Structure 1
Amino acid sequence: MEVTTRLTWNEEKSLQKLLGSVSLSLLYKSSVHGCSLSKMFARCNHQGSTITVIYLPKEIVGVFIRGHYPTMDVNFGKPNSSFYFSLKNDETEIKTAFLNTTLQMDNEMLRAYHPNFKDIFSLIPNDSLVRLHSLLVNELRVNFKVSKYLECEVFRVEGIEDGNSYISRITGAAQHRHKLLANLRAYKPSEDLVSEIRILLLGPVGSGKSSFFNSVKSVFQGYVTHQAAVGSDSTSITELYRIYSIKDGKDGESLPFKLCDSMGLDEKEGAGLCMDDIRHILKGCMPDRYHFNPQQPITSRHPSFITSPSWKDRIHCVAYVLDSRSINILSSKMVEKLKRVQKEVLNCGIQQVVLLTNVTNYQEVLQDDFLNMKKCVTSGYKITEVQEMLHIPTSNILMVENYASELELNPLKDILILSALRQMLRAADDYLDDLPFEETDEVVGMSQLHTCD
């Protein structure tokens, strides 16, 4: 009788994708081969890299072990960059925790030891028990420390790309992504001046402004989402001025930065976002959900016009969003319009960055240090072109690959998206730090006055 896995098709595909399109071969199933560590060891020993999958009533947890299972009754060996994971039943989103742990098997349990946290993970087949350290509970977002499990399965992992180097790569990617997320979640702007940062996305029609917002939101939500409408029409899909908040998780609090999406720039006069509207956006006079009219910019007579904007309402960083595939074919009229916009932004003293979208070679370039896009030959000349066109420092020319038709998150894409957002916030901080003393003093005084009220 053939032994089959308890994993659903979606769950198995998610685990395979996490490891780079590998195949999984079932070695051990506790309900079939017996709930004892010795029987588990007999079937899994000397099988190479494995994934141990533990089924609980509402979720799945497990561990990827690089290399062979540890030898029975032998002291801890060398640290192993294994990783731990969790997913809700029949869902595709996987939470991961990457730790250098050493593994040991004795008569009762398979356990992982971490020098800072002692026993980080324990599997006790004889009692169908799994134990997690509180660190893993938090990282994997599960609701238990000790639990009985329904089933335990172990799979041999076959076809890992480049062996250990590939695992090191995805391990490093996940760790770097985690650090970026933690950094951005902890971000706070200059509290005496503003409580939140506003980043304005400007660029030609179809360059990826709305897609960038969707991508940022997706990373913080933990799954791909498409709140802002996107398209590839010759005229702008975006007709409303939108000030988008970003929540940390579906039901989490709003983070202290907002992305402001605008109508696309058009090379034709009287089409696309007009200069007068840009001025009002920069100064904080444009209300959320204002409907753009390329023929008639907003005026102070508009019922929702913000006549006395605070520093919080103003734009603190402008990101020019450009499609990396069309940098060298931008018309002279579009380049001239971009320079006009840039002059307006410079007159306001606002910091600027460039966001290049549709970077297709990100997987190849991010193999080493995850911040190496500018060393790629195909990307380098595009950065040079943009730098010469807009005279923006190369450190402020950022590259991303937005989420478009994907169904699942990719840690390498996330790294570029989060790195770009972090650089935008740093630019905004530079803008606030550079404000004249008398202006910052006035803002602080107003803030204190409101506090007294």
Structure 2
Amino acid sequence: MFRYFLKEFLRSPWREPGPSEWNESMYDELLNEIGHIRINEKGRKGGILLCGPNQTGKSSLVNTVFTICNGRPANVSTAMFSQKSVTSNYLRLAAHGSLNNFIITDTKGLLEPKGSGLNVDDVLFSLRGNIKNGYKFEDHPIERENKDFFNASPKKEDESHCLVFIVGVDMLETFSMKYLNKIKEIVCDMQESGYPMVLILTKMDKHYPYLQTDITYMFKSSIVHEAVLKASKIFGIQERDIHPVVNFTQEIRLNKIKSIPVLLALRQILHYAEDRIHASN
């Protein structure tokens, strides 16, 4: 056991930043850099669409991002333990406060049987801006004849520009073939449609408990790296596009150091959104 910890301590980080670079100054620099990302000269905001299986921490991540924006705990998306998908409505939220250059859309959990939970077809509809805010997801894709919630002629500001797939690290060992087929269908659709995709691997502190003591070892841990490599192999997503994060469930105030992995992911997401907008113009 001692040899293992010694080896972990001496190994080089598999991704930057290394432990010595994690501090509040880095948090402030990332926050400033992200706040100055201008999606285009017309002031358009980057659209971020969240998608993922049930109970992966999607809503908790939304609250974490808005906590960072506000500088205080935020509760903008329902986050609670449930065997069913907590988010049932299409929820579109514009960032404000220190970060105001993106819009996050939260979707219903991706449940196991195909046709239950968020549908694959609804993912593309959501990205293209065809679904209106407040739509309640059903077990079948939204109908084009639904005039109340289907937007047949979306404006540019209705679109999302990057799909963020959220998966709990604990699920990597338990995915059924039904789940994997549904997820791989989404990944294939994104590649064919030219939408960038980022995967956020949540609950990493439960998978590697030492992070609860010192989160600065996130990118030095072989355990975290192996989980990222496994997710890359399962979903066919490049390692650089997978971001491990810890969940915020107990904090009553903003923890800047703990927020750094979320900011690193958000920076990449917004740069990808910027690339998508430029490519589509």
Q: Same-fold call, TM > 0.5?
A: yes
Aligned twin of 2:166: 321
Deviation, 1:273, is 0.6
Deviation, 1:279, is 2.3
Distance 1:171 1:317, change over 3 A: closer
Q: After superposition, give the CA deviation of every residue in 1:367-417 in whole Å (9 maximum; x if it has no partner).
A: 4xxxx6343111111111111112211111011113223212212211111
Q: Given residue 357 of structure 1, which amino acid in structure 2 is its aligned partner?
A: T
C-alpha distance in 1, partners of 2:250/2:147? 38
Q: Given residue 97 of structure 2, which amino acid in structure 1 is its aligned partner?
A: D
C-alpha distance in 1, partners of 2:273/2:141? 30
C-alpha distance in 2, partners of 1:278/1:172? 35
- Kept in 2, the 8 Å contact 1:282–1:345? The answer is no
Deviation, 1:328, is 1.8
3-state SS in 1 of match to 2:83: coil
Q: Which is greater in Rg?
A: 1
Which residues of structure 1 form unaligned runs of 5+?
1-168, 441-453
The match for 1:174 among 20, 24, 28 is 24
Deviation, 1:296, is 5.3
Aligned twin of 1:297: 142
3-state SS in 2 of match to 1:175: helix
Aligned twin of 1:191: 41
Name the one with the larger strand percent: 1
Q: Percent identity?
A: 25
Deviation, 1:171, is 9.3
The answer on 1:273 being equivalent to 2:118 is: yes
Which residues of structure 2 form unaligned runs of 5+?
1-18
- Kept in 1, the 8 Å contact 2:121–2:141? The answer is no
The match for 1:226 among 75, 80, 98 is 75
The answer on 1:413 being equivalent to 2:258 is: yes
C-alpha distance in 1, partners of 2:239/2:87? 29
Output the TM-score relative to the length of structure 2. Answer: 0.85
Q: After superposition, give the CA deviation of every residue in 1:31-75 in whole Å (9 maximum; x if it has no partner).
A: xxxxxxxxxxxxxxxxxxxxxxxxxxxxxxxxxxxxxxxxxxxxx
C-alpha distance in 2, partners of 1:395/1:172? 19
3-state SS in 1 of match to 2:200: strand
C-alpha distance in 2, partners of 1:391/1:374? 21
> C-alpha root-mean-square deviation of aligned residues, in Å?
2.1
Q: After superposition, give the CA deviation of every residue in 1:284-324 in whole Å (9 maximum; x if it has no partner).
A: 11111111111452324332321111232222000110001
- Kept in 2, the 8 Å contact 1:363–1:412? The answer is no
Name the one with the larger helix percent: 2
3-state SS in 1 of match to 2:201: strand
How many residue pairs align between the two structures? 259
- Kept in 2, the 8 Å contact 1:270–1:295? The answer is yes
